Amino acid sequence: MNNCLLHSSGEAASKPAAVRTRSPRTSEPEKPVGRKEGGVAGDRMMIDAFIAQYGVRRFESGASVSSSALHRFLANRGYGLLVEDERNGRVRLLERNGPTRSMMWPDVVKFCDALRQSEGLEPFVRDAHQSGPPSVS
């Protein structure tokens, strides 16, 4: 039998059946969405401009707002933390010779920032009045 295509009626098809073809591959990779032109050099320029405008924040080794890091930070300064309500993030701040205070976790971070600033250390959270980009939530 010859290699022509037949219709269901048995007649020869006038056009060959459509063949699935792959789209041709290009040597150029797709550009990431939202990426500006310039590649690494453009990135370096943006980083340098950001540092010139806002500066670089430096933290000591181990500085973090994780619960374990803040527990250590406060313990080294005579404070303790007790979890009151883990689901809602409420903790009790214990002072060595003072009253206990119940507070939410963001308040604990603010308290630690006040201690850090009094010791001349960089605070974890930038104040709204400080220059800098908006924080991502």
- Number of structural domains found in the chain: 1
Q: Point out the least confidently predicted range of 12-26, 51-65, 99-113, 114-128.
A: 12-26
* Residue 40 included in any domain: no
The boundaries of the domain holding residue 74 are 62-121
Residue 9: inside a domain: no
Closest listed residue to residue 66, CA positions, set 117, 111, 124, 128: 124
Residue 50 lies in a domain: no
In a domain, 82, yes or no: yes
Prediction pTM value: 0.55
Q: Establish if 39 belongs to a structural domain.
A: no
Q: Which residues, at least 6 apart from 72, have a Cβ–Cβ distance to it below 8 Å?
A: 62
Please write the tens of the pLDDT for every residue from 9-41. 555 555 555 555 555 566 665 555 555 556 777
